[in-house]
Copies of this chain bind each other. A is one copy, B any other.
Amino acid sequence: MVDQAQKRLKEAFQTKEKAGRIRQQNEAVILEAAEIEFAQHGFKGTSLNAIAERAGLPKSNILYYFQNKVGLYGAVLSDILDMWNQSFNDTTADDDPFETLNTYIRSKIRYSRSHPLASKIFAIEIIQGAPHLKKFLAQELHNWVGDRARVIQAWIDAGKMDPVDPVHLLFLIWGGTQHYADFGTQVQWALDKPELGDEDFKKAEDTLCHIILKGIGLAR
């Protein structure tokens, strides 16, 4: 989705590429700790002290690697955007809609499972009005959605699927798939399980693909 936005974020926040082994490892530890804390308390609600304690490093160390709290948060966001929409990016009207959307939905759910913290940080940021991402992402997202919507519209015009609004279809896919990361707590309550297993995510994938693909007139 967001090559351009990610690049600009990186320019603004990323630390030096070349660095000693100790520093690289410490930075990784800090970013991991920061990810957990930001996902749990949001930007304003997270304290550098809490991150430092979780990372097992002095607070001063964090502020030496990253110039301030916003810089650290930006680095975390940059890491997240690093691995956003892999699939569905290069799709054209000639591609098979069933295959493309089936893959897209399943990869989205798998991302929810493998990177729940990243999804949560992103979700909180958006819910709160995306004060730190707006300038990096707003235009980019509009372009990405526009491009994808045109592909879907072409499929519709070719009679390959039902005439549903492409943008709202994308929203449904996003909402339905991200739910498993962002609202994982709620999902666990509903299923009364401390953690979801392979079979749960398999069932989630299959159910979503069945409903959405059949719902837009695609079947296999």
Contact = CB atoms under 8 A, between A and B. Distances in A.
A97 interface: no
Nearest to A173: B176
A73 to B, nearest CB: 12
Contacts of A212: 172, 211, 215
A185 B212 CA distance: 24
A121 to B, nearest CB: 9
A151 interface: no
Given A142-B190, A187-B171, A215-B212, A164 B40 contact: no
A212 B216 CA distance: 9
Interface in A185-220: 185-187, 189-192, 203-204, 206-208, 210-217
A145 B182 CA distance: 18
A11 to B, nearest CB: 21
29 contacts: A41-B42, A41-B44, A41-B45, A42-B124, A42-B128, A43-B45, A44-B45, A45-B45, A123-B127, A124-B124, A126-B183, A127-B182, A137-B189, A142-B189, A142-B190, A142-B191, A145-B190, A162-B210, A162-B214, A164-B211, A167-B191, A168-B207, A171-B180, A175-B183, A212-B215, A214-B215, A214-B216, A214-B217, A215-B215
